[in-house]
Amino acid sequence: MNTKKNERFAETDRRIRKAFTKMVLNKKTNQISVREICEATGINRSSFYLHYADIPALITAIVREKWTESVERIHEEMHGDPNIFSEAYVAATLREAKRDRTFYRAYFEKFGTAELEKGYQTLFENVFKPFFSAARHRERALHGISF
């Protein structure tokens, strides 16, 4: 793909996301149709489907983007302190949820907490488990316990 087509594709994608995010302010997600998004963005349905398989796929893409942005802002606010167990980290996380509360309300309305639970499972496997494992190894080493 040449650059002009890439730019046009990216611009269409931004317009789709923006239109949907704006619609969520006034409607429940199950009341928003692909047709409405297309009318709001001035594209046809086939263009929408080049970008997303359906509205849940659009929501998932927006959530991923927002999550990435939120995590970056939290890490900036925490000045690189990785202690996710701290009160400050939890407070920063809640501020981020509040910042995009309309969108997250719509997301949970549509998908419930299943995806959030998957996220917590990933967090547990990739952060908590290694953290506690390392702490256990440090404790054993401190007390001279062999592995």
Q: What is the pTM of this model?
A: 0.63
As a whole number, mean pLDDT of residues 54-68 equals 87
> From CA 138, how far away is CA 70, in angstroms rounded?
32
Judged against a pLDDT cut of 70, whether residue 38 lies above it is answered with: yes
- Tokens representing 101 are 């509360």
pLDDT score of 35 more than 60: yes
- Higher-confidence residue of 135 and 19: namely 19
**Which residues have a Cβ under 8 Å from the Cβ of 20 and sit 6 or more positions away?**
32, 37, 55, 58, 59, 62
Matching residue, tokens 């997303």: 52
Query: Half-sphere exposure of 64 toward its Cβ, with a 13 Å CA cutoff?
Result: 6
Residue 74 pLDDT greater than 70, yes or no: yes
